[in-house]
């Protein structure tokens, strides 16, 4: 989750705001004034939008020194591992979508975590029954092989222009010199206090002296600074084959629990062989046409690209630009309901499952599902899936597969450079604080991504493509998206939020492309999230609106959610400038920056 908009400036924010490379980080006793933190920025030379001013500043620093969008994305992600350690870091994974301006092509990297090779469908079963979800969250059992460092290395090797060592320097400096704690960081720590206290390494880092970090104090992570320095010097193989790999394996297999802890912490079965075998994978992106544009996303193992793409195909037949707000939201909700019904049946790791990606993204299949939507009634959830291989209009499918739970504490960043390259990158450690287990002496938390698997078959009568398996990647909802027109970028965006990522990206895209909202306003608009359940979650802006009553009259049932998603994006303007956009309010507001706010290209 994002820290509040009122957090104090630190070293990297100073660099971005005043361009002074020699500025010092503030001391806790005399914090500097809050930095300018804007949800929108327009200018030349490149752009960065992220959850955090320090992280965006790290990316801008790289762009100013001649780096490209890929370089800036890695630097921003590494900085987020410092300032947003409960959302992301080298102990997790993610998905990287890249637009190459020279080739006018979109390529992607699947950096999703993998299960140990010993895992099977009974990974989370004891005596034939699923273990309690929270027990799996705080355990070695839920830890997958981290994919983030391998993603950085693969992206830089293919498209980068700067060494990893140089790109980690801003984050290394930030970890060493510190950032100022705000209310949100303290509250997130408080939410994890009981878990962290049970692991000495986590308690030492996040609960210094046994206390929560004080608002206004300087939070430093020297262990992570040293880890970044090691990765920069030795390369990411250190995490997959070196001493760091051995530390990760020993931590997972024998979680270092405090002697007085009463928590039952199950060990995992991750091995050195699992880490050595890990590969981040180049995958062909998903692609659909929408309103004359090409929309590219992340293919399975993520369900983001197929679900967003299918929903857009379903909505293609409706002129959303002329629809009333109620009709727009009704169609959006129903398209999302259908897409989630289909992803639950068909999407999993393509190395293990025969995922009909082409069928899911075909307009013929979308048309066979769109005819289910009525303007005067609501579909009943859970809705049964359709058959993308043999589409039959309005056909009733097999039994429905409910949506599995996914942790919402993820982060997204978007970058662009002066050459026109663009990156949309979403990374995560799953739950807030991941597994709660810090690798001793290394300064980062391990993920609990394997809890994204179904613990048991979602529906006995239907094949579940998301059960655990050896080396398998759990299904994700991560949806980094890039939109092109005639081969040139229009916009790129993404969001955290677990399964709500799909609905957030879908609503932001249609809000901008169909409803003609400026990108920052499309991101800020109050959200609805329907994930093939009996109720649709809506934010206060819709809960308190007359449109809720209009939709309820059709049969919609709503549940209030104070906050859904937290998107960032970049947009290429007709005059060649970049526009960076982030949240105006959600999670404290985001940080949009450009290299040169004025001047000429």
Structure confidence by residue, pLDDT tens digits, 216-243: 899 999 999 999 999 999 999 999 999 9
Assigned token pair, 445: 């938390």
Give the residue-averaged pLDDT of 581-600. Answer: 91
Give the residue-averaged pLDDT of 112-133. Answer: 96
Give the residue-averaged pLDDT of 588-597. Answer: 95
Report the pLDDT value the prediction gives residue 185, as an integer from 0 to 100.
87
Structure confidence by residue, pLDDT tens digits, 310-365: 999 999 999 999 999 999 999 999 999 999 999 999 999 999 999 999 999 999 99
Residue 99 has phi, psi (to 5 degrees) of -105, 120
**Residue 581: pLDDT over 50:** yes
22 or 503, greater pLDDT: 503
Assigned token pair, 307: 């679900």
- Kindly report the number of other CB atoms within 10 A of residue 483's CB atom: 26
Q: Angle 222-234/243-253 helices, nearest 10 degrees?
A: 130
Q: Is the pTM of this model over 0.75?
A: yes
Structure confidence by residue, pLDDT tens digits, 254-281: 999 999 999 999 999 999 999 999 999 9
| Cα atoms in the 13 Å half-sphere on the side-chain side of 547 | 17
**Residue 11: pLDDT over 70:** no
Report the pLDDT value the prediction gives residue 600, as an integer from 0 to 100.
65
**Residue 17: pLDDT over 70:** no
Q: Which has the closest alpha carbon to 563: 387, 343, 409? A: 409
Report the pLDDT value the prediction gives residue 42, as an integer from 0 to 100.
98
Cα(569)–Cα(579) distance, integer angstroms: 8
- For residues 562-578, one letter each, b for 16 or more C-beta atoms within 10 angstroms of the residue's C-beta and e for the rest, the string is ebbbbbbbbbbeeeebb
**Residue 9: pLDDT over 50:** no
* pLDDT, mean over the chain: 92
Query: DSSP letter at 420?
Result: S
Tokens 């206390």 label which residue? 211
Report the pLDDT value the prediction gives residue 399, as an integer from 0 to 100.
74
Report the pLDDT value the prediction gives residue 462, as an integer from 0 to 100.
77
**Residue 3: pLDDT over 50:** no
Supply angle C-alpha 543, 549, 551, rounded to 5.
95
Give the residue-averaged pLDDT of 108-131. Answer: 97
**Residue 29: pLDDT over 60:** no
Tell me the sheet residues that pair with 288.
295
Report the pLDDT value the prediction gives residue 408, as an integer from 0 to 100.
63
Structure confidence by residue, pLDDT tens digits, 445-476: 999 999 999 999 877 777 899 999 999 999 99
Structure confidence by residue, pLDDT tens digits, 58-100: 999 999 999 999 999 999 999 999 999 999 999 999 999 999 9
Q: Which ranges constitute the DSSP H helices of 219-316?
A: 222-234, 237-241, 243-253, 272-277, 304-315
**In the chain, what percentage of residues exceed pLDDT 70?**
92
Q: Which ranges constitute the DSSP H helices of 235-362?
A: 237-241, 243-253, 272-277, 304-315, 325-346, 357-360
Cα(454)–Cα(464) distance, integer angstroms: 8
Structure confidence by residue, pLDDT tens digits, 148-206: 999 999 999 999 999 999 999 999 999 999 988 877 789 899 999 999 999 999 999 99
Q: Which has the closest alpha carbon to 507: 483, 526, 480? A: 526
- Kindly report the number of other CB atoms within 10 A of residue 461's CB atom: 9
Report the pLDDT value the prediction gives residue 196, as an integer from 0 to 100.
98
Report the pLDDT value the prediction gives residue 20, as an integer from 0 to 100.
28
Signed CA dihedral, 238, 498, 105, 71: sign only:
negative
Q: Which has the closest alpha carbon to 374: 418, 349, 411, 337? A: 337
Worst-scoring range by mean pLDDT, 286-295, 392-401, 573-582, 583-592?
392-401
* Confidence tier at 598 by pLDDT (50, 70, 90): confident
| Active-site residue, 306 included | no
CA distances for 426 relative to 5, 148, 173, angstroms: 21, 10, 23
Structure confidence by residue, pLDDT tens digits, 392-440: 999 866 777 766 666 667 899 999 999 999 999 999 999 999 999 999 9
- Kindly report the number of other CB atoms within 10 A of residue 338's CB atom: 25
591 or 600, greater pLDDT: 591
Report the pLDDT value the prediction gives residue 463, as an integer from 0 to 100.
87
Q: Angle 69-83/148-159 helices, nearest 10 degrees?
A: 160
Report the pLDDT value the prediction gives residue 442, as an integer from 0 to 100.
98
Catalytic residue among 83, 114, 306, 410: 410
288 or 11, greater pLDDT: 288
Residue 114 has phi, psi (to 5 degrees) of -120, 150
**Residue 4: pLDDT over 80:** no
């Amino acid at each position: 989750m994002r820290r509040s908009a009122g957090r104090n400036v630190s070293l990297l924010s100073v660099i971005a705001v005043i361009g002074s490379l020699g500025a010092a980080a503030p001391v806790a006793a005399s914090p500097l004034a809050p930095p300018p933190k804007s949800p929108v920025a327009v200018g030349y030379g490149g752009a960065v939008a992220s959850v955090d001013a320090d992280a965006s500043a790290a990316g801008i620093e790289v762009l100013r020194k001649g780096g490209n969008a890929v370089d800036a994305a890695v630097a921003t992600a590494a900085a987020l591992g410092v300032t947003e350690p409960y959302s992301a870091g080298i102990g997790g994974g993610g998905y990287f979508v890249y637009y190459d301006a020279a080739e006018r092509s979109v390529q992607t990297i699947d950096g999703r975590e993998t299960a140990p090779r010993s895992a099977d469908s009974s990974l989370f079963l004891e005596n034939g029954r699923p273990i309690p979800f929270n027990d799996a969250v705080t355990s070695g059992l839920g830890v997958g092989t981290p994919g983030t460092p391998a993603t950085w290395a693969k992206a830089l090797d293919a498209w980068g222009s700067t060494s990893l060592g140089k790109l980690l320097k801003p984050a290394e400096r930030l970890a060493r010199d510190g950032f100022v704690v705000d209310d949100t960081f303290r509250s997130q720590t408080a939410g994890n206090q009981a878990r962290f206290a049970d692991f000495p390494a986590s308690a030492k880092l996040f609960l210094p002296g046994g206390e929560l970090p004080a608002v206004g104090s300087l939070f430093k992570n020297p262990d992570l600074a040293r880890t970044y320095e090691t990765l920069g010097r030795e390369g990411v193989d250190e995490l997959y084959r070196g001493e760091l790999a051995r530390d990760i394996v020993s931590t997972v297999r024998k979680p270092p629990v405090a002697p007085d802890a009463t928590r039952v912490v199950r060990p995992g079965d991750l091995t050195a062989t699992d880490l050595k075998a890990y590969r981040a994978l180049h995958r062909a992106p998903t692609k659909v046409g929408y309103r004359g544009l090409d929309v590219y996303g992340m293919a399975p193992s993520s369900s983001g690209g197929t679900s967003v793409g299918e929903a857009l195909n379903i909505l293609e037949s409706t002129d959303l630009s002329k629809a009333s707000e109620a009709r727009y939201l009704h169609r959006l909700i129903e398209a999302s309901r259908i897409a989630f019904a289909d992803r639950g049946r068909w999407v999993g790791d393509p190395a293990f499952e025969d995922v009909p990606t082409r069928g899911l993204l075909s307009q013929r299949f979308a048309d066979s599902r769109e005819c289910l939507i009525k303007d005067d009634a609501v579909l009943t959830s859970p809705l049964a899936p359709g058959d993308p291989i043999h589409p039959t209009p309005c056909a009733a499918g097999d039994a429905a597969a409910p949506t599995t739970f996914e942790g919402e504490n993820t982060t997204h960043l978007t970058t662009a450079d002066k050459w026109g390259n663009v990156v949309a990158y979403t990374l995560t450690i799953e739950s807030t604080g991941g597994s709660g287990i810090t690798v001793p002496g290394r300064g980062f938390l391990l993920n609990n991504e394997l809890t994204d698997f179904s613990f048991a078959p979602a529906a006995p009568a239907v094949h579940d493509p998301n059960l655990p398996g050896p080396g398998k990647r759990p299904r994700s909802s991560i949806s980094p998206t890039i939109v092109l027109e005639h081969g040139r970028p229009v916009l790129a965006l993404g969001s955290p939020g677990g399964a709500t990522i799909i609905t957030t990206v879908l609503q932001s895209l249609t809000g901008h492309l169909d409803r003609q909202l400026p990108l920052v306003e499309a991101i800020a608009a109050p959200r609805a999230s329907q994930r093939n359940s009996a109720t649709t979650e809506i934010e206060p802006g819709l809960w308190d609106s007359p449109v809720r009553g209009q939709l309820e009259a059709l049969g919609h049932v709503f549940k209030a959610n104070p906050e859904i998603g937290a998107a960032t994006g970049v947009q290429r303007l007709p005059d060649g400038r970049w526009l960076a956009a982030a949240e105006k309010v959600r999670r404290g507001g985001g940080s949009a920056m450009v290299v040169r706010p004025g001047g000429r290209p």
